[in-house]
Amino acid sequence: MSANEEYSFFGAVEKSFDRAAKFTNWDPGILEQIKACNAVYRMKFPVRMDDGRIEVIEAYRVQHSQHKTPCKGGIRFAAEVNQDEVMALAALMTYKCAIVNVPFGGGKGGIKINPRKYSVYELEKVTRRYTAELVKKNFIGPGTDVPAPDYGTGEREMAWIVDTYASLRPGEIDAAGCVTGKPVTQGGVRGRREATGMGIFFGIREVCQMPDVMEKLGLTVGVEGKRVIVQGLGNVGYHAAKFFHNAGAKIIALAEYEGAVYSEDGLDVDAVFEHRKKTGSILNFPGGSNFAKNTDALEYDCDILIPAALENVINGENAPRVKARIIGEGANGPLTPEADEVFVTKGTLVVPDMYLNAGGVTVSYFEWLKNLSHVRYGRMEKRFTENMNQHILGQIEELTNRQVSTRERQFIMHGPEEVDLVHSGLEETMITATREIMDAWKSNPQIPDMRTAAYVVAINKVGTSYAELGIFP
């Protein structure tokens, strides 16, 4: 890249795509269509601020692909939002959805504001006006384009969006499906909060179940006893660490921006979390020792490293010192392309973000299905299942002349709640996606890494959709 040439995030995504496309057999025209951003809506609108001033807000919504509809992707509020970034993130959503078999095209939205500089009332006005602009151009709707939270947005903003949409489209029976990540009281789904961390755990666990992969890495099969390090104790990192801990892995180090702690005996994730909440710092945790620098945690010897905080934390400079055998990308883009090259040479397995952190969009899909079906998961079958289980258990006890313990009885009898079904759907999704990517990788030894294999899987799925749709004259 020349000095005057600006870095393009979308260009970088296109490069990764081209690298993987070489391992597919699609017509160049189809590949060009898969890569292209189908629609970019750049808008400006005025909002009156609390002090009476009128501010003109810049915002975007990009629909990268309509090979499946609706399009799907978060809305971010950040001062750095620009068209190139929104296009890149929308493209990544297309590939992410394809990999985890979520039948959506990729989309993404952005509003160029720093949300910390606005009052709640101002943010509400900006969000509602943005939604109205999307409605005017048919860029939102349960069948066209379904946003979700991203940086700087959450359940509150999604509630404003659904409310604005529903009031502009009175009588639209599926209006709740116009956005996901809503509060449960506004049509959200239980189990979404922990979904990304849980998906990361399911993905890595599946890789650890593959004897040939573990043998190459010099590791034993299974998650139990594995030494795990997590960077970032936020939504993604905290839940991922908890699920590894619960499965019998040892969390030997945790890193936050103010520092990092370790203990070869294993850290109690909740105790560290509480300590940080109480003292304002992860450092000086009574059950562990401090690292000199927080980045030291990335280079400490371990089996599995989960960077779940920021982008570009492992690069060409520190990658040679990283000792982990498996790196699970919890954050978006924690490894640079230079780091990828180092790990291919070292034989470290990098499990790529594009699929590993897809738990959030997968559960968003379940939320959208719930909204379209207008019924809570489990409502129809919970009691029926419990009655059947009761009956079966009674028969077994009668035939064997033995009583099961109260604890076992509760477990066997239990009919599925919404959260059980959401977790089970997520587990199935991550296991299937892991196997598909690994199969693609194994089928062609020329594919250098799991990231490229994931792209190959995505390109093949989107390509098949286009081929099946037919190309209009």
**Residues in the annotated binding site for substrate:** 72, 96, 364
Give the nearest residue (CB) to ligand NAD.
Answer: 234
Q: Is 232 in the site for ligand NAD (CB under 6 A)?
A: yes
CB of 283 to ligand NAD, least distance (A): 12
Residues 6+ apart with CB under 8 A from 187: 162, 176, 177, 367, 370, 371
The footprint of ligand NAD on residues 239-278 (CB under 6 A) is: 255-257
Which of 127, 294, 364, 429 contacts ligand NAD by CB under 6 A?
A: 294
CB of 193 to ligand NAD, least distance (A): 8
- Tell me the C-alpha to C-alpha distance, in Å, between residue 468 and each of 60, 63, 472: 30, 20, 12
Interatomic CA distance for residues 189 and 182, integer angstroms: 8
Q: Which of 133/157 has CB closer to ligand NAD? A: 157
Which of 8, 144, 281, 332 contacts ligand NAD by CB under 6 A?
A: 332
CB 131 within 8 A of CB 165: yes
Q: Is 235 in the site for ligand NAD (CB under 6 A)?
A: yes
Where is the binding site for NAD(+), in residues? 196, 235
Residues in the chain: 473
Q: In the numeric block, which tokens belong to residue 323?
A: 């000792």
The contact pattern for ligand NAD, residues 166-185, with x = CB under 6 A and - = no contact, is: --------------------
Tell me the HSE value of 148 on the side-chain side, using a 13 A CA sphere: 27
CB of 252 to ligand NAD, least distance (A): 16
Interatomic CA distance for residues 378 and 302, integer angstroms: 40
The footprint of ligand NAD on residues 348-367 (CB under 6 A) is: 357, 360
Q: Is 281 in the site for ligand NAD (CB under 6 A)?
A: no
Q: Which secondary-structure segment (H or E) carries 125?
A: helix 120-136
Which of 147, 188, 330, 378 contacts ligand NAD by CB under 6 A?
A: 330
Binding residues with ligand NAD: total (CB under 6 A): 20
Strand bridging mode 250-256 / 259-262:
antiparallel
CB of 264 to ligand NAD, least distance (A): 21
- Tell me the C-alpha to C-alpha distance, in Å, between residue 187 and each of 26, 124, 162, 396: 40, 19, 9, 40
Nearest-CA neighbor of 304 among 360, 229, 394? 229
Based on the residue annotation, tell me whether 117 is a catalytic residue of this protein. no
Q: Which of 255/459 has CB closer to ligand NAD? A: 255
Active-site positions read 108
Q: Which residues bind ligand NAD (CB under 6 A)?
A: 196, 231-237, 255-257, 294, 308-310, 330-332, 357, 360
